[in-house]
Amino acid sequence: MNSGQRLVTSAQAAQILNLSVQGVHYRIKNGQLKAIKKDGRTLVYINEQDTISTPNNSLNNDISEQKDIHIKLLKKYLKQMKHQYENEIKRLEMNQEQIISVFKSEISLLQSAFNEMKNIYALEHKNNNDSSKMDLIDIKDFFLMMRKYNKTDLEIKSIILDKIKSGDKRFIYSSSSKSIIIYKSDFLDLI
């Protein structure tokens, strides 16, 4: 220790130098003040001329130092937040691409399943139509058969229309050919 210097605690140094304790530690860190650690405490070397410093000037320096510290911390925080924001945007974009890829895959699977079902239905429908052609009865033959049971043409037409409207599978109106298809049956329920 030089003559003209004394060793004080950081709290005492703050009082002597008209600084906050953080200001004292900041100056120690930046090499503006000399200090030692003893028994877990920080002791600061104070020059006698430092005790005469004007409180106003010291206070301004302390405020300026504190402001600089806060600005540095805020810049660091903003940089971290920007980095975190950019990473989150990248993660969301990647997830969006994965979700779109999954949806496209699902749509493709559904289209394949639909086309397969359509082909199966078309094949079954074709097979049903081929075998049912043998089971069809001509509308004229249907009229002749019903007349044998004393049905008038008006009654026969009414029977056919009622059965088409009620969804009787023996009577089908084909809108494409605009004709009535009648499947063979014993038709005992109509007599």
**Number of structural domains in the chain:** 2
Distance, in Å, from the CA atom of 96 to the CA atom of 185, rounded to the nearest integer, reads 60
- Is residue 29 domain-resident? yes
Residue given tokens 């405020």 in the structure block: 63
Domain boundary among 32, 52, 67: 67
Band of residue 65 on the pLDDT scale cut at 50, 70, 90: confident
Per-residue confidence (pLDDT) for residue 181, from 0 to 100: 92
Domain boundary among 52, 67, 82: 67
pLDDT single digits (tens) 110-158: 887 887 787 777 766 665 555 445 589 999 999 999 999 999 999 999 9
- Is residue 120 domain-resident? no
- Is residue 80 domain-resident? no
- Is residue 145 domain-resident? yes
- Is residue 141 domain-resident? yes
42 touches 28 (CB < 8 A)? yes
Query: Would the pLDDT of 68 be above 60?
Result: yes
Q: Would you tell me the crossing angle of helices 21-29 and 55-132 to the nearest 10 degrees?
A: 80
- Is residue 160 domain-resident? yes
- Is residue 114 domain-resident? no
Residues contacting 12, CB < 8 A, separation 6+: 44
Query: Would the pLDDT of 182 be above 90?
Result: yes
Distance, in Å, from the CA atom of 10 to the CA atom of 30, rounded to the nearest integer, reads 15
What's the rounded mean pLDDT across residues 62-84? Answer: 87
pTM tops 0.85, yes or no: no
The domain that holds 48 is classified in CATH as 1.10.1660
**Residue, of 59 and 52, whose pLDDT is higher:** 59
- Is residue 33 domain-resident? yes
Domain boundary among 50, 67, 84: 67
Domain of residue 166: give its range.
132-190
pLDDT single digits (tens) 12-32: 999 988 899 999 999 999 999
